[in-house]
């Protein structure tokens, strides 16, 4: 009997060790900071010329550099602020996507700038010029955005009207932020292709990209995240935060999104009781809705703002 148990314990230990190794590897791939912007997906390569034209505008337009925790290198956060050429008392704060940075949101910045907004573009923790070793997928970032909101009010005055906007991880960040006690200056939110929860997104990608089961990988990754960042993945959710949201919100999602599946947009939409709109861009892939038809995108955003901002 003892020999049988010993024989059984050896392969079990090997399986457990293998699962832990894979989970730790996945955590580092998904959560550890990288100091470059990964190449965009193949279906969006055709927009490269337009993208770099926006980036060129971003670097040439009059702008300022803002900081949070400026004198603490371990916690310093950096943002670009673009003042409107004709200020009318409104600012949009733009949240970038996974492994992106403020520059990668140049197209949205220019769109809102031409609509008369001041534009604030932060680099999230562990992205761009901001400090941090691990990507937190919006959960801790949402607290930083509260500070960016207050920094905007301090700079622009109590009468400033603020719009929150984000794409992909940035969309989820705005959704997670929606459940916080936001200042009255925040008037509306726009979330483009945000996921319904970190756990659901990770579980989906485990299956679709890595062909791995949820168990035991997700619980192990979640435990590593708890040790590194202080929370289990299952403890945070865009949907749960949206239940507390009271601001008008526009959800945008590509109908052919296979990275953040479109059903998550419907889940997020159903979660909030606030005034809301949902726009599914039928033929767009992940984070492609703007590029697919910039004029239609701006028209839809403008219509939403005309109603609710």
Q: What is the pLDDT along the chain (309 residues), one digit of tens a residue?
A: 544 434 444 454 445 567 889 899 999 999 999 999 998 888 889 999 999 999 999 999 999 999 999 999 999 999 999 999 999 999 999 999 999 999 999 999 999 999 999 999 999 999 999 999 999 999 999 999 999 999 999 999 999 999 999 999 999 999 999 999 999 999 999 999 999 999 999 999 999 988 888 999 999 999 999 999 999 999 999 999 999 999 999 999 999 999 999 999 999 999 999 999 999 999 999 999 999 999 999 999 999 999 999
User: Does residue 5 fall inside a structural domain?
Assistant: no
User: Does residue 76 fall inside a structural domain?
Assistant: yes
The pLDDT of residue 41 is 84
Q: How far apart are CA 251 and CA 274, in angstroms?
A: 12
User: Does residue 269 fall inside a structural domain?
Assistant: yes
The pLDDT of residue 65 is 98
CA-atom Rg of the chain in angstroms: 20
User: Does residue 202 fall inside a structural domain?
Assistant: no
The pLDDT of residue 302 is 98
The pLDDT of residue 19 is 83
If one counts the domains in the chain, the total is 1
Longest Cα separation, the chain:
83
For residues 289, 250, 80, 114, the Cα torsion angle rounded to the nearest 10 degrees is: 70
Q: How far apart are CA 197 and CA 172, in angstroms?
A: 8
- Note down the domain range covering 167: 40-197+236-308
C-alpha angle 32-40-48 in degrees, rounded to nearest 5: 145
User: Does residue 117 fall inside a structural domain?
Assistant: yes
Distance of CA 246 to the CA centre of its chain: 20
The pLDDT of residue 10 is 41
The pLDDT of residue 11 is 52
User: Does residue 122 fall inside a structural domain?
Assistant: yes
Q: Are strands 186-192 and 161-167 parallel, antiparallel or unpaired?
A: parallel
CATH of the domain at 284: 3.40.50.1820
Q: Does residue 105 contact residue 6 with C-beta atoms inside 8 Å? A: no
The pLDDT of residue 4 is 46
Q: Does residue 288 contact residue 253 with C-beta atoms inside 8 Å? A: no
User: Does residue 20 fall inside a structural domain?
Assistant: no
pTM of the model: 0.94
User: Does residue 12 fall inside a structural domain?
Assistant: no
């Amino acid at each position: 009997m003892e020999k049988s148990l010993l024989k059984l314990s050896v392969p079990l230990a090997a399986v457990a060790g293998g699962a832990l190794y894979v989970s730790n590897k996945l955590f580092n791939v998904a959560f550890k900071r990288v100091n470059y912007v990964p190449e965009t997906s193949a279906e969006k390569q055709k927009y490269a010329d337009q993208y770099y034209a926006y980036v060129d505008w971003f670097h040439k337009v009059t702008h300022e550099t803002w900081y949070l925790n400026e004198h603490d290198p371990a916690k310093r956060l950096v943002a670009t602020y673009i003042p409107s050429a004709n200020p009318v008392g409104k600012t949009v704060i733009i949240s970038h996507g996974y492994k992106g940075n403020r520059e990668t949101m140049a197209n949205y910045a220019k769109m809102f700038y031409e609509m008369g907004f001041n534009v604030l573009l932060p680099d999230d923790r562990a992205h761009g010029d901001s400090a941090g070793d691990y990507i937190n997928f919006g959960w801790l970032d949402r607290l930083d955005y509260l500070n960016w909101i207050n920094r905007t009010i301090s700079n622009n005055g109590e009468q400033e009207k603020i719009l929150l906007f984000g794409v992909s991880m940035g969309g989820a960040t705005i959704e997670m932020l929606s459940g916080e006690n936001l200042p009255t200056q925040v008037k509306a939110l726009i979330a483009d292709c945000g996921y319904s929860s970190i756990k659901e997104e990770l579980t989906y990608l485990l299956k679709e990209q890595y062909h791995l089961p949820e168990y035991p990988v997700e619980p192990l990754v979640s435990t590593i995240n708890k040790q590194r960042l202080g929370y289990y993945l299952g403890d945070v959710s865009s949907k749960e935060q949206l239940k507390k949201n009271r601001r008008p919100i526009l959800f945008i999602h590509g109908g052919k999104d296979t990275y953040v599946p479109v059903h998550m947009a419907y889940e997020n939409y159903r979660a909030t009781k606030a005034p809301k709109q949902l726009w599914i861009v039928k033929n767009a892939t992940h984070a492609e809705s703007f590029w697919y038809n910039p004029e239609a995108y701006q028209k839809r955003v403008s219509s939403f703002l005309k109603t609710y901002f």
